[in-house]
Amino acid sequence: METSMKVNKISDCLWEIPKTEKEGMLVPARIYANDTLFESMDKGVFEQITNVACLPGIQKYALCMPDGHWGYGFPIGGVAAFDTKDGIISPGGIGFDINCGMRLITTNLKAEEVKPRIRELINELFRAVPAGVGAKGTLKASVTQLKGIMERGVDWCIENGYGWPQDREKIEECGHIPGADPSKVSEKAISRGANQLGTLGSGNHYLEVQMVKIDNIFDEKTAGIFGISEKNQIVIMVHCGSRGFGHQVATDYLKVFDKAMKKYGMTVKDRELACAPFKSSEGSDYYKAMLCAANSAFANRQIITHRIRESFSKVFNTSAENLGIEIVYDVAHNIAKVEKYKIDGKEKEVLVHRKGSTRCFGPGRKELPEIYRSVGQPVIVGGSMQTGSYLLAGTEKAMQETFGSTMHGAGRTMSRHAAKKRVRGDQLLKTMAKDGIHVKTASMSGLAEEAGIAYKNISEVVETMDGLGITKKVVKLKPIGNIKG
């Protein structure tokens, strides 16, 4: 830990920087981490989260999750809620890959059925789901089709044969957030998005075949409700977003907001936090464009799900229905959402920015599928490709303390450049094969960037929020096959 700021330890895994520590702070900044994770936090986290605490209209606290690390404007793992009447919206609090998120899919296959065919399966998935920088999908959408996808997300996919009717209820916001307006999206963004549907992209995006070991089920009842009840059951996890389309939307509006800040007489501690009042014409336009990218990302993961069903069906020579390939849930972790919370005893409408952070609504929320309301929202947390991932459940305490938010993954401990200096992709491929993980990658250098040593210990990150009661552990998932960009 490198910071000259005063940091108070509130509890075993909760730290607070008082608002007296930086001029302009409107609320305290809070960091969720055990002692080990806290000590390893980079200096950027402390600077950035206290800068966020200075933004107009912020409510209660600026928050950083245990996977927190330096990002653009906000730290990755940052959460902040702003009053919708006098608060702001900031692309730096959402991220360039708008609605980058996670989808978990179950099957009724067992590891003993899949492992002998894992190479064939991964090869087929690699063919069906393009990965890597500049990867183009098999669906090249026309401008009219893409506008329909921007407005309607997963609904468009299902109506056009890329999904089953029951899929939509197992997706955050049913895969379609109302209010998107394609007229607020630039032609350049549209041209970048037209041929990227059904693709993974690069960086830390992946498609992973995983297995459930019986000793890694922590809550059998909740796991069963989520569709996981079998020893050695095979599941599939997808991590990707809106790709170049979302990146262009963010880039376009950062330029708009630079001018808007002068217009409204606003200043920020860091230019990367460029923002506009949420209710302003500029803020409203960005929000509508951001929703276009968010709906496009839901559609991207939906088309990938369709390709997964086709691939499994081909390899196992039976229908996807017979294989029980059903969505558990799909969650966004780079997004801003209008939600309501009790603040100072009164219900208040706020715009929650989640940057590398996952929504984790507790039991009883009407936004959740009826089948999950008794146990809380499924929360999908990806680890590194070497260490496995987790399925968790949201809690009521999260609704009270973190604006219904938790971590999104393990969180990086070193840069991509540093990882490539330490690891060779071809050697990592062999090491993972020895560990029973078959990997297919579009780039050996890209693979090296994603080595397990580049990430925090996923179990420590998950245990932090489990111990605090923000999320509860349900299942740990072990990788056996992975596609990387």
Question: What is the tens place of the pLDDT at every residue in 322-374?
Answer: 999 999 999 999 999 999 999 999 999 999 999 999 999 999 999 999 999 99
Is pLDDT at 70 greater than 80 in this prediction? yes
Tell me the per-residue pLDDT of 113-149, one tens digit each, with 9 for 90 and over: 999 999 999 999 999 998 866 677 777 788 899 999 9
State yes or no: 333 annotated in a binding site: yes
Positions of CATH 3.90.1860.10 in the chain: 101-336+375-484
Is pLDDT at 95 greater than 90 in this prediction? yes
Q: CA 268, CA 266: separation in Å to the nearest integer? A: 7
Q: Which parts of 94-219 fold into alpha helices (H)?
A: 111-114, 118-128, 143-152, 154-159, 187-193
Q: Which residues of 364-376 are buried (b: 16+ CB within 10 A; e: fewer)?
A: ebeebeeebbebb
What positions carry a catalytic annotation?
408
State yes or no: 189 annotated in a binding site: no
Q: Which parts of 402-457 fold into alpha helices (H)?
A: 416-422, 425-434, 444-449
State yes or no: 242 annotated in a binding site: no
Residue 252, CA atoms < 13 Å, CB-side half-sphere: 22
Q: Please state, rounded to an integer, the average pLDDT across all residues of the chain.
A: 95
Average pLDDT over residues 165-193: 96
pLDDT for res 1: 64
Q: CA 194, CA 200: separation in Å to the nearest integer? A: 14
State yes or no: 408 annotated in a binding site: yes
State yes or no: 384 annotated in a binding site: yes
State yes or no: 208 annotated in a binding site: yes
Strands 233-240 and 206-217: antiparallel
State yes or no: 383 annotated in a binding site: yes
Average pLDDT over residues 41-50: 95
Beta carbons within 8 Å of 177's beta carbon, 6+ residues apart: 153, 291, 294, 295, 337
Q: Is the Cα dihedral 377, 403, 39, 382 positive or negative?
A: positive
pLDDT for res 96: 97
State yes or no: 206 annotated in a binding site: yes
Is pLDDT at 443 greater than 70 in this prediction? yes
pLDDT for res 195: 83
pLDDT for res 2: 66
Is pLDDT at 7 greater than 90 in this prediction? yes
Q: How confident is the model at residue 217 (pLDDT cuts 50, 70, 90)?
A: very high
What are the structure tokens assigned to 51, written together? 């800068």
User: In the beta sheet, which residues pair with residue 331?
Assistant: 102
Average pLDDT over residues 273-280: 98
Is pLDDT at 451 greater than 80 in this prediction? yes
- What class, spelled out in words, does domain 101-336+375-484 have in CATH? alpha beta
State yes or no: 97 annotated in a binding site: yes
